[in-house]
Amino acid sequence: MTVIDSPPPAGARHLDKEALRRKYAEERAKRLRADGNDQYLQIRGRFSHYLDDPYTPMQPRLPKTDHVTFAFIGGGFAGLVTGARLVEAGVKDVRIIEKGGDFGGTWYWNRYPGAQCDTASMVYMPLLEETGHMPTEKYAHAPEILAQCQRIGKQYGLYDNALFHTQVEELRWDEGRRVWVVKTNRGDAFTAQFIGMGTGPLHVPKLPGIPGIESFRGHSFHTSRWDYAYTGGDPLGAPLDKLADKRVAIIGTGATSVQIVPHLAKTCGQLYVVQRTPSSVDVRANAPIDPEWFASIATPGWQLRWLENFTENQAGGIAEVDLVQDGWTDLSRRIRTKILQLPPDQMTPPNMLAAYEDSDFEKMEEIRARVNEIVSETETADKLKAWYRQLCKRPCFHDAYLQAFNNPNVQLLDTDGKGVERITETGIVVAGVEYPVDCIIYASGFEVGTEHQRRAGFDAVGRGGEKLSEHWADGMRTKHGIHVHGFPNAFLVQPTQGANLISNVPHNLTESGRTIAMMVAHALAGGHQEIEVTKAAEDAWVELLLSGPGLLIGSNECTPGYYNNEGQDRGPAARTYVGYPAGPVAYFRYLDKWRNAGTFDGLEFR
């Protein structure tokens, strides 16, 4: 019998690696489909009500036709941290443009029951030290994170000039006036000397393209627009009491669904959890933060120390202590330990990759064994096991998700990689069986692999009328993931081509925000009207990125998902979606040195 049929207990592992590789490949093959990203429906036309904002009524206002020093597109963490640093640097008129009704970005939209951060609050929540906020839990829940966004907005005066419920439709560099012209869906047509873009990777919800989806006559909504009026309860955790007599199907079992299911399980009359691919669900171990302990560690500079320590532990460094101690740092420690066990003369790249694979097999075996320990029904437990390398999909951490399947009102509808067959007027069809339901909740995720301009809602037009999509036709081109040649005074705030630290995205954003504020302050102090990266510097940066190891797990090994463009080849462009070759720790050190040198090598100030 192989390990696949019956994993040996922890500590007595003999892994049949070939059998595991075969199993992973089989499960992948079941899920590969020719339509890739096109399997999903873009939410528009008759589906557009799925995008309505259930949280804040839209306020009428007059269009803006003025000029600001800095306009930032996106009011999530990226806009807030950049805005805060700009205000600290003396820029008084920062205008944030946000499609939601308040600040918060993903934390504005995602108010579903159980929403909480998956990376420890101490490093995930931005500007804790500056705002003096102590997170209440190791993993804060969504209302607290949203309140932190609002706190930043208030403390730095970012509300005064913000435009909410507003989407940028046109962004164009005016060469004569040396300003950006910003036009929006609210009739605004104003100018900005500098522009920031922090539109986030996961903000456009998508629906699964299941045949018959439009015919359903019951209630339905997407997780990013939670309908508390229908379900009862609230984002603070009040029970979803209106579902007591309802049959509910939640479609999707990604990171969102894993957080929601325990709450639905508590109250729904009947809950169907519809699964195409199981998530890997590791221990969460949330706990309240003790104010006394917090006061003892929160000495000046504490958050940067914690950020650097997390990054060092998580992203390849060798730190003496692990302050955060969670699933992310555990994952990295295991890989590191395996690699360090190699004899010095065998420390070759193939051996290191093999050690990484071994550590991954062991971790996934533990995660599968955890399913057996928690889920009482063997058949259900087997279906909840993930058969792929851990980082092929977003790792999940939860202490109530698997337990929910022991509730008598919860049924797992596993589709064996195929997805829901059909939606009818009254229910969903899985493997030929129709399950009547009152409500369908789409936990089907967000657009990732679609064109950047479709997700952003605009295609920036730079010098000489060149569009950003044209500049990036063969892949992304930047310096530091921030500057683009031909797009003067424009700054991107996102991880790719910078640290690319996925386990703690806000760390990337705060570092970019700080850097941008320093460059803008330098330009304003020197009376410069333009900052632009030279072509040579952009080329050199891209060349440096391409000299790196690329992706450690090839997407042709992974089960499809948004991490790997649904298993489809993205062509040569994919090679550019990488980070600094020496890793995040080295990148942050490099960037700090670069910006503090004050010469901003590779940029021209005019």
List contacts with ligand NDP (CB under 6 A).
31, 116-118, 202, 208, 210, 251-257, 259, 274, 276-277, 394, 415, 419-420, 443-446, 561-562
Smallest separation, CB 592 to ligand NDP (Å): 26
Among residues 196 and 327, whose Cβ is nearest to ligand NDP?
327
Smallest separation, CB 65 to ligand NDP (Å): 37
Smallest separation, CB 344 to ligand NDP (Å): 37
The token duo for 320 is 């003496």
The answer to whether 357 touches 390, Cβ cutoff 8 Å, is: no
> Quick count: other Cβ atoms within 10 Å of Cβ 78?
29
Spatial CA neighbour of 253 closest among 228, 273, 233: 273
Distance from C-alpha of 412 to C-alpha of 252, rounded to nearest angstrom: 11
Among residues 131 and 415, whose Cβ is nearest to ligand NDP?
415
Among residues 30 and 172, whose Cβ is nearest to ligand NDP?
30
Spatial CA neighbour of 199 closest among 450, 419, 523: 450
The token duo for 238 is 């009040």
Among residues 224 and 497, whose Cβ is nearest to ligand NDP?
224
Spatial CA neighbour of 163 closest among 100, 108, 111: 100
Among residues 70 and 442, whose Cβ is nearest to ligand NDP?
442
Binning the chain into helix, strand and coil, the percentages to the nearest 5 are 40, 15, 45
Smallest separation, CB 28 to ligand NDP (Å): 11
Spatial CA neighbour of 240 closest among 117, 426, 112: 112
Spatial CA neighbour of 435 closest among 427, 447, 443: 427
Distance from C-alpha of 107 to C-alpha of 153, rounded to nearest angstrom: 14
Q: Does an H or E element contain 422, and which?
A: strand 422-423
Among residues 113 and 561, whose Cβ is nearest to ligand NDP?
561
Distance from C-alpha of 523 to C-alpha of 214, rounded to nearest angstrom: 53
Smallest separation, CB 459 to ligand NDP (Å): 24
- Between the CA of residue 37 and those of 202, 208, 399, 439, what are the distances in Å? 14, 10, 31, 25
Question: What is the number of helices (H) and of strands (E) in the chain?
Answer: 19, 20
Among residues 252 and 498, whose Cβ is nearest to ligand NDP?
252
Among residues 161 and 259, whose Cβ is nearest to ligand NDP?
259
The full DSSP string for 160-192 is TT-B-S--EEEEEEETTTTEEEEEETTS-EEEE
The one-letter amino acid at 303 = Q
Distance from C-alpha of 412 to C-alpha of 394, rounded to nearest angstrom: 20
Smallest separation, CB 479 to ligand NDP (Å): 26
Three-state secondary structure call for residue 297: helix
Smallest separation, CB 369 to ligand NDP (Å): 22
Q: Does an H or E element contain 145, and which?
A: helix 142-155
Among residues 209 and 232, whose Cβ is nearest to ligand NDP?
209
Smallest separation, CB 115 to ligand NDP (Å): 7
Q: Cα-flanking dihedrals φ and ψ of residue 192, to 5°?
A: -145, 140
Question: Locate tokens 């990226």: which residue?
Answer: 78
Among residues 417 and 475, whose Cβ is nearest to ligand NDP?
417
Among residues 117 and 128, whose Cβ is nearest to ligand NDP?
117
Among residues 126 and 419, whose Cβ is nearest to ligand NDP?
419
Distance from C-alpha of 475 to C-alpha of 577, rounded to nearest angstrom: 8
Smallest separation, CB 225 to ligand NDP (Å): 12
Smallest separation, CB 275 to ligand NDP (Å): 7
The full DSSP string for 203-255 is -SBEEE--TTGGG--SEEEEGGG--HHHH---TT----GGGTT-EEEEE--SH
Among residues 31 and 186, whose Cβ is nearest to ligand NDP?
31
- DSSP letter (8 states) at residue 116: B
Smallest separation, CB 329 to ligand NDP (Å): 16
Among residues 10 and 431, whose Cβ is nearest to ligand NDP?
431
Smallest separation, CB 455 to ligand NDP (Å): 14
Smallest separation, CB 257 to ligand NDP (Å): 6
The token duo for 61 is 């206002």
Contact residues for 38 (Cβ-Cβ < 8 A; gap 6+): 209
Could you tell me the maximum CA-CA distance found in the chain, to the nearest angstrom?
A: 74
Among residues 284 and 477, whose Cβ is nearest to ligand NDP?
284
Smallest separation, CB 112 to ligand NDP (Å): 9
Smallest separation, CB 302 to ligand NDP (Å): 22
Distance from C-alpha of 251 to C-alpha of 426, rounded to nearest angstrom: 15
Q: Which burial class, exposed, middle or buried, applies to 80 when counting CB atoms under 10 A from its CB (0-12, 13-18, 19+)?
A: buried
